[in-house]
Chains A and B, each alone.
Chain A
C-alpha cells in the first residue's frame, strides 16, 4: 500500500494519463459489434446473443446499480461513522467495527443468498447485499479518518469558539475526507463485483452475460461479460483514484 502511494506521488502526470486508459478501453468495447465480432470464433462462429439488449445498456444498468447503492451507503455510512465517534460512545464504536469486520468476512454470495428467503429474488436482495457489503469500507475508513484528526487541531477549534457542530463540519469532516474517500473508492470497486454476482439472483447487469454464457456453454458470451465487468471495475478504480489518491 505504501509502495503504491509512493509511486503515485512521484509521477502524478503520467499516472493521471494512465487513469484514462481503462475508461477509454471500456468505451471502445462498448461500440456495437466490437466485442461480439472479436469473440465470435469462440461462439461457434456466430456473434453471441446478448439477450436483445445492447452492451452499453447492460453496462449502464450495472453502473446504476453500483452508484445507486453507493448513494445509500453514503447516506447511512457517513452519519453512522460520525455518530459512533462522538465522545462517550467508545463501546458502540467497537461494536460497529466488530460488525463491519464480520460483514467483510462473510462471503458476498452468502450475504446475497441469506437475504433471498426474506426478500425474494431480483433487485431487493441484491441492493441489500450491495449496501451491506459497501458499508464496510466506508464505515471503517470513516471511523479511522475521524479518529485520526489531531486532538490539538480540535482544541484550537474549540478555542476559537466553534460549537461542536461547526467543529464537525468545518474541521473534522474536511480533515478526514481523504481517508473517507479511499473507503468510498474501495466500496465502489467491491460493489462492481457484488453486482456481477447479483446477476445470479436475477438483478440483471453485466453478470447476467457471464452467468447465461456459463449455463449455455457459450465462451464468447462469458468473455464479453467478464471483459466489460473487469473494465468497468478498473475504470471506476482509476477515475476515483484521481479524486482520492492513495492506496486502497
Chain B
C-alpha cells in the first residue's frame, strides 16, 4: 500500500483564459442571450389544457442580456471572476424559475398550472456551460473557484423557503407526496437489489473464470448477448417463463414470484447488470501486475492470502467502475419496470404519458435523471477514494 501524496497541482498564473476556454464562454453566453428572448413560462388554465406563453419582463430581459454578454467579454479581461459570474447566472435561473412561476400564478385559480418553458431551460444550459468553463480556467486560488458552486446554496434556500412551490411539477409533487416517496423507495429498492444480486453472482464468477480463458469467453459472450437485447424486450421475454414457473410451483407464487411485478423486473435488472460487473472484474483481476503477485509469493503468502491481500485490493478500483456502470444502467432499466407492474419512478412517467399530463411526466423523468447522475457521481467519488488508498491497479 502506497501512502497517498496530496500535493496540489501548481498551475501557472494567467491574465486571460486560454482561447479554447474563451470559446466555451462564448457558447454559454450566446445560449444565455438567446434564452432572454424566449418564453420563460407557460400558463395553463388546468393541468391538461393548452396554455399561453409568457416572456420575461423587459427589465429582467435587459439584465439577463447584460449578464449573458458579460460572460464571454470578462473571460478575456477578468478570468478570476468567471466562477462567480457563472454561479450567479445559474442561481439567477433558479431564482427566476420561482419568481416567474409565482408571478404567472398570481390571481389565478388553484387548478391553473404554470410550467417552465424553453427560455428557462436554455438559460440553465448556457449558465451550466459557463460554470463548466470556469472550472477549465485552472485558477490558482481555491476561493474564487469555489464561488462557481454559489448556485447550490441558493437553490437549497429557494426550495426550503417554498419559493419554487408555484412551479407546476412541484404542485404535482405536492398532490402526490406519499406516492412519490413510495415510488422513489421502490426505484432504489429495485436498483440496489438488482445490483446486489449481480455482484453476488458476478463477483465469484469473475474470480472463477479469470483463471480459465475458455470459460471466460463463453461467460462474456453470454453476458454480451443479454445486453444486446433491448431492455424492454428482455422484460417481456421474462414474463412467460416466470409466469409458468409460478403456476407450476405454488410455493414460489406465495413468495411473490409471478410473470408481472417485482420478480421479472429484478431478474432482468440482475441479468443486465451482470455484464459490466463480469467484464470489468475480469479486466481488473487480469490487469494486476504479475510482478506484484510474484513478490507476494516470494514473501511466502499462500494462494488465498495473495488473492485477498494483493490481487483483490489492486483490482478493486477498476472493478468498482464496472459496478458504477451497472448501477447507472439499472437506474435506467428500473425506470421502465413500471410497464410490467414493478413501480418505481416510471410510474409517474407512464401515467403522465397515458393522460398527456406533462407535469406528471417530468415528476418522474427529472428525479430519474438526477438519480442516475447522482449515483454516477457518488460511485466515481468512491473510485477516486479507493484508488488513492490502494494506488493505481
A121 to B349: give the CA distance in the assembly, Å: 13
Closest CB in chain A relative to B52 CB, distance in Å: 15
Report the Cα distance A181→B19, complex, angstroms. 32
B335 interfacial contact with A, CB 8 Å: yes
B369 at the interface (CB under 8 A from A): yes
**Contact of A113 with B361 in the complex, beta carbons under 8 Å:** yes
* B105 interfacial by beta-carbon distance below 8 Å: no
Given the known interface contacts A1-B283, A102-B373, A233-B228, the answer about A108 and B20 at a Cβ–Cβ threshold of 8 Å is: no
* Beyond A91-B23, A193-B231, A223-B240, 18 extra complex contacts between A and B, CB < 8 Å: A1-B279, A4-B221, A7-B217, A105-B376, A109-B368, A113-B364, A114-B365, A193-B232, A196-B230, A219-B243, A219-B259, A222-B240, A225-B236, A226-B235, A230-B229, A233-B228, A233-B233, A237-B228
Asked whether any CB of chain A lies closer than 8 Å to the CB of B339, the reply is yes
CA separation between A1 and B279, bound complex, in Å? 7
- The digit string for A201-241, where 1 denotes a CB below 8 A from any CB of B, is 10000110011011001010011011101100110010000
B365 lies within 8 A of A196 (CB)? no
B residues less than 8 Å from A207 (CB atoms): 230, 232
Task: Specify the chain B residue showing the minimal Cβ separation from A197.
Answer: B232
Distance of A212 from chain B, by nearest CB (Å): 11
Residues from chain B with a CB closer than 8 A to the CB of A107 are: 331-333, 335, 368-369, 372
Task: List the A side residues contacting B259 at CB < 8 Å.
Answer: 219
- Check if B23 sits within 8 Å of A109, measured CB to CB: no
Residue-wise, chain B 207-221 has the 8 Å CB interface mask toward A (1 for contact) of 000000100110011
Q: What is the distance, in angstroms, from B46's C-beta to the closest C-beta of chain A?
A: 15
Whether B232 lies near A196 (C-beta < 8 A) is yes
Interface centre among B237, B260, B331, B366 (most CB of A within 10 A): B237
Nearest to B328 among chain A residues (CB) is A105
B residues 109-132 near A (Cβ < 8 Å) are: 115, 118, 129, 132
Stretch at the interface among B8-16, B91-99, B197-205, B352-360: B352-360
Contact flags (1/0) for A70-111 with B, using CB distance below 8 Å? 000000000000000000111110110010001011111111
Residue A135 is within 8 A (CB to CB) of chain B in the complex: no
A110 touches B236 (CB 8 A): no
Q: Which of B230, B336, B361 contacts A192 (CB 8 A)?
A: B230
Across the interface, which residues of A come within 8 angstroms of B132, CB to CB? 95, 98
Inter-chain contact B239/A222, CB cutoff 8 Å = yes
Residue A117 at the chain B interface, CB threshold 8 Å = yes
- CB of B21 within 8 A of CB of A4, answer no
- The answer, yes or no, to whether A13 is at the interface (CB within 8 Å) is no
B236 / chain A contacts, CB cutoff of 8 Å: 210, 213-214, 222-223, 225-226
Bound-state Cα–Cα, A237 to B236, Å: 20
Task: Provide 7 A-B residue pairs closer than 8 Å at the C-beta atoms, listed in order of the A residue.
Answer: A95-B132, A95-B136, A107-B368, A117-B115, A196-B233, A219-B243, A226-B236
CB of B340 closer than 8 Å to a CB of A:
yes
* Minimum C-beta distance from B246 to chain A (A): 12
| B contact residues around A201 at 8 Å (CB) | 353
Query: Is A173 interfacial (CB-CB < 8 Å)?
Result: no
Partner of B369, one of A3, A98, A110: A110
Q: Which residues of A contact B372 (CB under 8 A)?
A: 105-107, 110
**Would you call B350 an interface residue if the criterion is a C-beta within 8 Å of the partner chain's C-beta atoms?**
yes
A200 contacts the other chain (CB 8 A) = yes
Residues of A within 8 A of B361 (CB): 113-114, 116-117
Contact between A230 and B234, CB atoms less than 8 A apart: yes
- List the B residue with the shortest CB-CB distance to A92: B23
Answer whether residue B79 sits at the interface, using C-beta atoms and an 8 A cutoff.
no
A113: B residues at CB distance < 8 A? 349, 352-353, 361-362, 364-365
Minimum C-beta distance from A43 to chain B (A): 11
Q: Is A118 an interface residue (CB 8 A)?
A: yes
Q: Within 8 Å CB of A94, what residues of B? A: 136
**Of B229, B243, B332, which contacts A109 at CB under 8 A?**
B332
In the complex, what residue of chain B is closest to A88 when comparing beta carbons? Answer: B20
CA of A111 to CA of B224, assembled, Å: 24
| A interface footprint on B321-353 (CB within 8 Å = 1, 0 otherwise) | 000000010011101100110000010011011
A223 to B234, CA, bound (A): 10
- What are the residues of chain A within 8 A of B364 when measuring CB–CB? 110, 113
The CA-CA distance from A66 to B239 in the complex, in Å, is 26
Task: Enumerate chain A residues within 8 angstroms of B282, measured Cβ to Cβ.
Answer: 3
User: Does residue B193 face the partner (Cβ distance < 8 Å to A)?
Assistant: no
Distance, CA A210 to CA B331, complexed state (A): 21
- Which residue on chain A has the smallest CB distance to residue B361? A113
A110 near B232: Cβ-Cβ < 8 Å: no
From the candidates B133, B220, B232, B234, name the one contacting A4 in the complex (CB within 8 A). B220
Query: In the complex, what residue of chain A is closest to B132 when comparing beta carbons?
Result: A95
A168 lies within 8 A of chain B by Cβ: no
Q: What residues on A are CB-neighbors of B27 within 8 Å?
A: 92, 95
A162 CB to closest chain B CB (Å) equals 24
Report the nearest B residue to A39, measured CB to CB.
B240
Contact residues in A for B237 (Cβ distance below 8 Å): 223, 226-227, 230
- Chain B positions within 8 Å of A233 at CB level: 228-230, 233
- CB of A2 within 8 A of chain B? yes
Closest beta carbon of chain B to A61's beta carbon, Å: 15
Contacts of B333 in A (CB 8 A): 107
Q: Complex formed: what's the CA distance from A107 to B272 in Å? A: 14
The yes or no answer to B176 lying at the interface (CB within 8 A) is: no
CB contacts (< 8 Å) of A114 on chain B: these are: 361-362, 365-366, 369
